[in-house]
Amino acid sequence: MKILSSVENESILRASLALNKGQLVAFPTETVYGLGADASNEKAVKRIFTVKNRPFTSPLIVHIADATSVHKLAEDVPDYVQKLTNDFWPGPLTLILKKKSSVSNFVTGNQKFVGIRVPKNIFALEMLKEFEKFGKYGVAAPSANRFQSVSPTTGQDVFEELGDKLDSNDLIIEDGQTLIGIESTIIYCGKKYVQVLRPGAITQSMLEKSIPGLVKIKKEIKIMSPGNHKKHYSPKAKIVFDRAAEPGWGYIALNNIPTPPKVLRLASPRNSAEFAKILYLSFRNADRLGIKTVLVQIPSTGKYREALADRVLKAAGINKK
């Protein structure tokens, strides 16, 4: 595997060539790094599952360069989807839509639906555009970590997660720390309503403002939803959130919360957005430092509170669903 810098002129072309040849390319997005493959290449997509040690039934998000390609992947697309893509793409919003028969089952885990997203990262967008010049569209990419581990937010993290599993012609693009730090919001797009399956930077109230009256609060749908596995997004350290700190533990809290005695403060974000940005990074630092338990004080206010509660609870092995 080779690590390329996103700022090198040739990296965009080399990444799209590698994808076209069926290699894997770990690339930055604004949320977390993805492990990409040509969505139409079965052999390449299958390698994603092997490299991550991920079950084949778990569907992959298809990344596209712009909203016009939605109709190449999905059918019966509800009218309100155009409003959503205008308002939030490129950006951290994944749409679950009815798939066209041309979209392979090995991408969607045999489901009738496909997850689609236009990421807001310059390198990712340029790479996806360049890839389309081969007459292809769609890069299937899950987060570039081992199954049930923490999503990577730097190229270095990807290397540490998957470096030994990638082969000599695969690529990792180093683009530094991602802007948001946690995965995209995922919404199911039904005929008459949408429903949030995974909270993220695009919040329920932002969706409600964009398409008033169409966002369902109550969970009703039966399609397989993200993070159904009991433990998810977990570092080696045990994550706790609902008890008092003990000596020797790692500690993550907003900067206005004082550090309890004898704990190691891993981060002091100033608001919920900063909290999201440092969460996985702090989990990784805890593991690097050999910390056994990390206490996370989940912020009770702020735009990212819901997404943070979701990720921390999953890291702690608690599944609300």
Q: Which listed range, 77-85, 178-186, 239-247, 297-305, lies at the site for ligand TXA (CB under 6 A)?
A: 178-186
Q: What is the DSSP string of 192-210?
A: S-EEEEE--SS-HHHHHHH
Half-sphere exposure in the Cβ direction for 30 (13 Å, CA): 21
Q: How far is Cα 213 from Cα 101, in angstroms, rounded to an integer?
A: 31
Sequence letter at residue 213? G
Q: Which of 38, 157, 170, 183 binds ligand TXA (CB under 6 A)?
A: 183
Alpha carbon 219 to its chain centroid, in Å, reads 21
181 forms part of the interface with ligand TXA (CB under 6 A): no
Q: CB nearer to Mg ion: give 78 or 142.
A: 142
Q: How many residues of this chain bind ligand TXA (CB under 6 A)?
A: 28
Q: How far is Cα 82 from Cα 78, in angstroms, rounded to an integer?
A: 8
31 forms part of the interface with Mg ion (CB under 5 A): no
Q: Which of 6, 29, 178, 272 binds ligand TXA (CB under 6 A)?
A: 29
Q: Which of residues 102-161 bind Mg ion (CB under 5 A)?
A: 143
User: What's the sign of the alpha-carbon dihedral 35, 36, 39, 45?
Assistant: negative
Q: Which does 91 bind (CB under 5 to 8 A by kind): Mg ion, ligand TXA, none?
A: none
Q: Which of residues 105-124 bind ligand TXA (CB under 6 A)?
A: 108, 111, 113-115, 117, 119
Q: Which listed range, 71-79, 220-228, 247-255, 268-276, lies at the site for ligand TXA (CB under 6 A)?
A: 220-228
Q: Which of 16, 34, 207, 312 binds ligand TXA (CB under 6 A)?
A: 34
Q: How far is the CB of 162 from ligand TXA (least distance, A)?
A: 13
Q: Which residues contact 285 (CB under 8 A, 6 or more apart)?
A: 266
Q: CB nearer to ligand TXA: give 85 or 94.
A: 94
Q: Which of 91, 138, 142, 250 binds ligand TXA (CB under 6 A)?
A: 142
Q: Which residues contact 80 (CB under 8 A, 6 or more apart)?
A: 189, 194, 211, 214
Alpha carbon 64 to its chain centroid, in Å, reads 15
Half-sphere exposure in the Cβ direction for 122 (13 Å, CA): 8
224 forms part of the interface with ligand TXA (CB under 6 A): yes
Q: Which does 108 bind (CB under 5 to 8 A by kind): Mg ion, ligand TXA, none?
A: ligand TXA
Query: 209 vs 16, 81, 83, 212, 303, CA distance in Å?
Result: 36, 14, 11, 5, 14
| Torsion angle (degrees, nearest 10) of CA 64, 68, 71, 73 | -10
Q: CB nearer to ligand TXA: give 25 or 266.
A: 25
Instruction: Please give the residue ranges that form the binding site for ligand TXA (CB under 6 A).
Output: 29, 31-32, 34, 58-61, 94, 96, 108, 111, 113-115, 117, 119, 141-143, 183-184, 186, 223-227
Instruction: Please give the residue ranges that form the binding site for Mg ion (CB under 5 A).
Output: 143
